[in-house]
Structure formats: structure tokens, C-alpha cells
């Protein structure tokens, strides 16, 4: 029987340690008591114990039970008592009806009879044809029918499916399953039940029985096995490209909830694979310090520090652009480093609690938001110190060293220095970064010179005397202008939202770079939806570039 937990454990004890004859007597008492109980009243446990066993409890108790709980527990008690007693023919005072006999007499299904048992039709174990089976006394069945006349009449209207009806169900189900929307078993059963005036459960069981008996012609494929890591990665990749969850569910024969679970699991595992180091600080454990840590960048006391420095004339565009970013004061550096490491520490603590199998979208969104904000602060620090790399690279340029290669190498040293710098010691970052960059140059420049001297090809004179066919500065600027015009034309073929996201994400045309979170707030959508639109727009741009035969790094 369903719901087999006693609401009052004390009643369960009444079924223990009683001999066979006493259990039969208790069964009669419990059934009689059940018919007297009213759900709107309350009953003392002492009274219930006496009515079932004939004895008062050894210990007085003030326990009072609700009538509904009493009827629920008495049904379980009667079933437990009957399990321990198998009544033989000599104990049968009146005719006994089996489940099948009751089903035939009242023209109902055996499932309906079992449902009646949960509603008060008492059953016992009888030895019928040499085998213990569930049975009902005639008087018990008649009493139940009299008390539930309307329900019995409604159940007697049940009619078994004819072979023609079964064939019609199979035909309809096969057509629905092969349709474009690819309905599942539950939905197919619901639709057919409405058309044929049958219960959905009857249709569902009929279809399951057909698939089980005809596996070669099954309408609904058996439940697929677990997906491997490659399939999960493909689902995640398609979702990132904007494929709807409903389409993925049909493609991989999964439910919507399982697709969402796979997407979250893959997101979680990728987040856990990303290295996340940070410099800890005591203030990170103080909730009151959070507002100060996440506050906007403090402005310098000297207004002159906000002015942009004019770049020297004749500098290449890259070097000239470095002068557009003002240098940071000591206080601003400390603020940004503390903020970056605080955001990382919060993300690391959330990641430590993350279980990929049970990952929630809200937790993953929060971790990604913290990591993106920390990355934005890190980039702000790097941009403000790129001029430092250039000044150090100038001092290490030699006849055999390319200036821009040194700058590129120094930028990597700067990025590593930002990750390792401990702001709590009170040192200026420029001092720490200069030491790191010069140390790297001291190691990399001799190695480069050694490789150049060690692997001489013997064709240097030929290379030096060869004509220089590289484009001059004017040609470079002209080609750059043509490329910019081509990009503007390509952006014009995107819709307004796609164009807005691409321009803001990559800072095109002087626009300020924005994170997925920032764009989501402005557009009123989730950052995951922003990512999907961005991926879709990039695919469009690649297609347009291919059509126009443009070699663009999209």
C-alpha cells in the first residue's frame, strides 16, 4: 500500500508480539473501529489501544490523535496484522472474494479494486487453492459498496479497450511521434486521451505494452544511456551558439531539465579548470569592508594627475595610444589591486562549494560575474602600466633586438607581475613590475642572441641585399582605412542589437569595452543571452567576410 508510514508510531506497536488467534481477533476489532472513526473528531490513544487489543496501556498517556490520522494508521495496522496471519478454509466464516472476483462482479479493473483497498476496503491473506492470496469477505465488500455507491458506479462504467481501439491508439501515436514537433509519450497519451475519451494513463500503458511486445516496431525509443563527455561538450557548444534547449532535447532524446543540467555541469567543469590565484588580505573576511573595497576608483588629490599626457610626435599608433591612459597614484593602485584580489577570493570560495553535477545557474552566473569584474580591474591596471614596459624596452634595444618584440615580451612580464603583486606590503607596483620586466629581459635577451649566433644560416648577406618589398607607412595607413570601412559595412548588415553588442564588447570606433553583465543590464536580458547573441553575430561576420573575400581577424 502507498503512504506506508504511520503518523502515530504508537499505533504501530499494537501489531507486534501477538499470537495468531489474538491477531485475528485484533483484525476484527480494528476493522470495526475503523468504521466508527470520524475524521472530524479526536481520539485518546488509551481508547484506541483498548478497542484494538482489549487492554489499557501499561503507562498512562495524554496522547490524543486526530480522526484523519487514526483512519490512516488503522488501515496500515490492519494490513500489517493481516500479513502475519494466513487464514485457512476452516477459519472462513463466509465466502471469500479474490481481487479478480471483485473486479468481475462489479465490472471494474483490478487496479480500481486495489485503489478501493486504500480507501477502506479491508483485505486479508487467505489460503486459496493452496496458495496465500489477498481476499475480501463478502460482507466487507458489500459494506464498502454501500458506503461508496457513486464511486463504484463510476468505476463500473470502465470498459476494456477493443482490438480496434488499440490499433487506433497505435496509429495515432505513431503519426504524432513522427511529426515535426516530435511529441513525447506523455504528451501523446494526453492528446489521444482527449480525442478518444479515455484516461491518459490507459493510453500510456497501452503504448508502453506495445513497445515492449514489439521492440522492432517500437514507437518510442527506449530511454537512452548516459551521455559521454564529448556529447555533453557538443550540447554546451551548440547552446552557446544559440540553439534552443527544445531543439537540443529532441536532437539528443533528452528532457529540457536534463539539457539544462548538462549545460550547467559543463559550465561548472570549465569554470573549475580555470586557474584562479589571488593574494589574500584580512579585510576580505570583514563584511563591513566590502562597500569600501568595491567602491569606485578614488580620484587623486592633484587635478593635474587627471590630465592626459601628449605623446611625442612621430610615434607609431600603438605607442601613441598608451598616452591616452593616465598613470595611477599609489592610492589608486592599492585600491584596484585589493578590489581585483577580493573579487577573485569571492569567486574562489564559491567555486570551492561547487558540485558540477548539481550546479545551479545562479551560482555559475555569480562566479562568472566575479571573474569578469576581476578581469576588468586587471586590464585597467595593465593598461595604466604599458608605458612602463615601453620605457624599459627602450633601454634594452640593441643592434640584434627588435623593439616591438621586446615590448611584447615585456607585456607578458607585466601581466604576470599583476598576478603576483602583494599590495598589502605598501610598495609601489611600478617598482615591482620594473624589477620583473628587467629580470625577464636579462634572461631572454642573452638567450635570443645565443640562438641567433648559434644557428647562423650563411645567407644573411643575401637577405640584406634583397629588395625590400614591404609596404610603406602610407600604404599601411591606406589599407588600414580600407579595412575599417569594410568592417563598418559588415557591421551595417547586422541587426541593431547584434551591432550594439559587437561594438561594445570589442570597443570598436572608440566605444568603451563592456562586460557581458553590463550589456545584459543595459539591454534587459541575461548575460548568457548576450553571449549567445555575440556568438551569432560573429558567425554572421565570418560569413560576410568570406563572401567579400576579406582576411579579417573576426
Mean pLDDT of 88-109: 77
450 and 379 within one domain: yes
Q: Does a structural domain hold residue 467? A: no
Establish if 295 belongs to a structural domain: yes
The tens digit of pLDDT for each residue in 500-532 reads 888 888 777 667 778 888 888 787 788 888 888
Dist CA 520 CA 365 (whole Å): 12
Q: What percent of the chain has pLDDT over 90?
A: 11
Task: Give 551's pLDDT tier (boundaries 50, 70, 90).
Answer: low
Q: Does residue 223 sit within a domain? A: no
Q: What are the backbone dihedrals phi and psi of residue 97, each rounded to the nearest 5 degrees, phi first?
A: -110, 130
pTM of the predicted model as reported, rounded to 2 decimal places: 0.47
User: For 342-367, how does the pLDDT look when each residue is reduced to its tens digit (9 = 90+)?
Assistant: 999 999 999 999 898 888 989 999 99
Q: How far apart are CA 187 and CA 200, in angstroms?
A: 9
pLDDT (mean) for 103-109 = 80
* 199 compared with 422, residue with greater pLDDT: 422
Q: Give CA–CA dist 469/534, Å, rounded.
A: 39
Query: Is residue 298 domain-shared with residue 420, that is, in the same domain?
Result: yes
What pLDDT score does 463 carry? 44
Q: Give 3-state DSSP helix, strand, coil % of the chain, rounded to 5.
A: 65, 5, 30
- On whether both 24 and 89 belong to a single domain, the answer is yes
Whether the pLDDT of residue 458 is over 60: the answer is no
Query: Is residue 299 located within the same domain as residue 255?
Result: no
Torsion of CA 351, 357, 359, 361, to 10 degrees: 130
Q: For position 554, what pLDDT does the model report?
A: 46
Query: Are 250 and 389 part of one and the same domain?
Result: no
State the burial class of residue 376 (Cβ atoms within 10 Å of its Cβ: 0-12, 13-18, 19+): middle
CB 311 within 8 A of CB 320: yes
Q: Cα–Cα distance between 398 and 405 in angstroms, integer?
A: 12
Confidence tier at 1 by pLDDT (50, 70, 90): very low
- Which residues lie across from 86 on neighbouring strands? 125
445 in the same domain as 390 = yes
What total number of domains does the chain contain? 5
- Tens digit of pLDDT for each residue in 479-507? 556 666 777 777 778 888 888 888 888 77
Evaluate whether 502 touches 542 at the Cβ level (below 8 Å): no
Are 66 and 195 in the same domain?
no
Q: What is the pLDDT of residues 264-290, one digit of tens each?
A: 999 999 989 888 888 998 899 898 999
Q: State whether residue 127 is helix, strand or coil.
A: strand
Range of the domain at 417: 282-456
How remote is the C-alpha of 427 from its chain's centroid? 43
Q: Is 248 inside any structural domain?
A: yes
Beta pairing partners, 124: 135
- For 156-178, write each residue's pLDDT tens digit: 655 567 888 889 999 998 888 87
Amino acid at each position: 500500500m502507498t503512504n506506508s508510514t504511520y503518523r502515530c508510531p504508537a499505533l504501530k506497536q499494537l501489531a507486534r508480539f501477538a499470537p495468531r488467534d489474538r491477531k485475528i481477533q485484533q483484525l476484527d476489532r480494528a476493522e470495526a473501529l475503523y468504521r466508527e472513526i470520524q475524521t472530524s473528531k479526536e481520539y485518546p490513544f488509551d481508547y484506541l489501544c483498548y478497542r484494538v487489543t482489549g487492554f489499557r496501556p501499561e503507562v498512562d498517556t495524554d496522547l490524543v490523535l486526530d480522526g484523519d490520522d487514526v483512519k490512516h494508521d488503522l488501515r496500515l495496522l490492519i494490513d500489517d496484522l493481516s500479513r502475519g496471519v494466513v487464514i485457512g478454509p476452516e477459519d472462513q466464516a463466509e465466502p471469500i472474494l479474490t481481487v479478480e472476483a471483485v473486479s468481475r462482479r462489479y465490472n471494474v479493473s483490478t487496479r480500481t479494486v486495489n485503489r478501493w483497498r486504500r480507501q477502506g476496503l479491508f483485505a486479508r491473506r487467505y489460503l486459496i487453492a493452496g496458495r496465500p492470496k489477498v481476499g475480501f469477505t463478502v460482507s466487507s465488500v458489500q459494506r464498502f459498496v454501500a458506503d461508496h455507491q457513486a464511486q463504484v458506479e463510476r468505476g463500473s462504467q470502465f470498459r476494456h479497450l477493443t482490438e480496434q481501439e488499440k490499433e487506433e491508439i497505435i496509429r495515432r501515436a505513431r503519426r504524432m511521434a513522427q511529426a515535426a514537433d516530435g511529441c513525447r509519450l506523455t504528451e501523446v497519451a494526453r492528446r489521444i486521451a482527449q480525442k478518444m475519451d479515455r484516461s491518459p494513463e490507459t493510453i500510456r500503458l497501452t503504448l508502453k505494452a506495445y513497445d515492449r511486445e514489439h521492440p522492432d516496431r517500437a514507437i518510442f525509443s527506449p530511454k537512452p544511456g548516459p551521455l559521454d563527455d564529448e556529447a555533453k561538450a557538443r550540447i554546451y557548444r551548440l547552446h552557446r551558439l544559440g540553439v534552443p534547449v527544445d531543439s537540443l532535447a529532441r536532437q539528443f532524446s533528452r528532457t529540457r531539465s536534463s539539457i539544462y543540467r548538462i549545460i550547467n555541469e559543463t559550465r561548472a567543469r570549465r569554470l573549475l579548470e580555470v586557474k584562479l590565484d589571488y593574494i589574500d588580505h584580512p579585510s576580505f573576511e570583514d563584511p563591513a569592508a566590502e562597500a569600501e573595497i568595491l567602491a569606485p576608483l578614488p580620484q587623486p588629490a592633484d587635478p593635474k594627475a587627471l590630465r592626459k599626457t601628449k605623446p611625442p610626435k612621430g610615434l607609431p599608433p600603438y605607442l601613441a595610444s598608451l598616452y591616452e591612459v593616465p598613470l595611477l597614484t599609489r592610492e589608486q593602485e592599492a585600491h584596484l589591486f585589493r578590489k581585483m584580489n577580493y573579487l577573485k577570493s569571492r569567486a574562489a570560495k564559491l567555486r570551492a562549494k561547487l558540485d558540477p553535477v548539481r550546479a545551479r545557474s545562479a551560482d555559475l552566473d555569480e562566479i562568472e560575474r566575479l571573474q569578469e569584474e576581476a578581469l576588468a580591474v586587471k586590464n585597467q591596471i595593465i593598461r595604466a602600466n604599458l608605458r612602463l614596459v615601453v620605457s624599459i624596452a627602450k633601454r634594452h634595444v640593441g643592434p640584434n633586438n627588435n623593439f616591438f618584440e621586446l615590448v611584447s615580451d615585456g607585456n607578458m612580464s607585466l601581466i604576470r607581475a599583476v598576478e603576483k603583486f602583494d599590495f598589502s606590503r605598501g610598495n609601489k607596483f611600478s617598482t615591482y613590475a620594473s624589477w620583473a620586466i628587467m629580470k625577464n629581459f636579462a634572461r631572454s635577451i642573452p638567450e635570443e642572441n645565443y640562438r641567433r649566433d648559434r644557428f647562423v644560416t650563411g645567407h644573411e648577406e643575401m637577405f640584406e641585399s634583397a629588395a625590400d618589398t614591404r609596404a610603406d607607412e602610407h600604404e599601411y595607413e591606406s589599407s588600414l582605412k580600407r579595412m575599417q570601412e569594410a568592417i563598418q559595412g559588415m557591421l551595417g548588415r547586422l541587426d541593431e542589437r547584434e551591432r550594439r553588442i559587437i561594438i561594445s564588447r570589442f570597443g570598436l570606433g572608440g566605444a568603451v569595452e563592456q562586460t557581458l553583465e553590463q550589456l545584459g543590464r543595459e539591454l534587459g536580458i541575461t548575460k548568457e543571452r548576450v553571449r549567445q547573441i555575440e556568438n551569432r553575430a560573429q558567425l554572421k561576420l565570418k560569413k560576410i567576410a568570406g563572401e567579400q573575400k576579406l582576411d579579417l581577424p573576426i
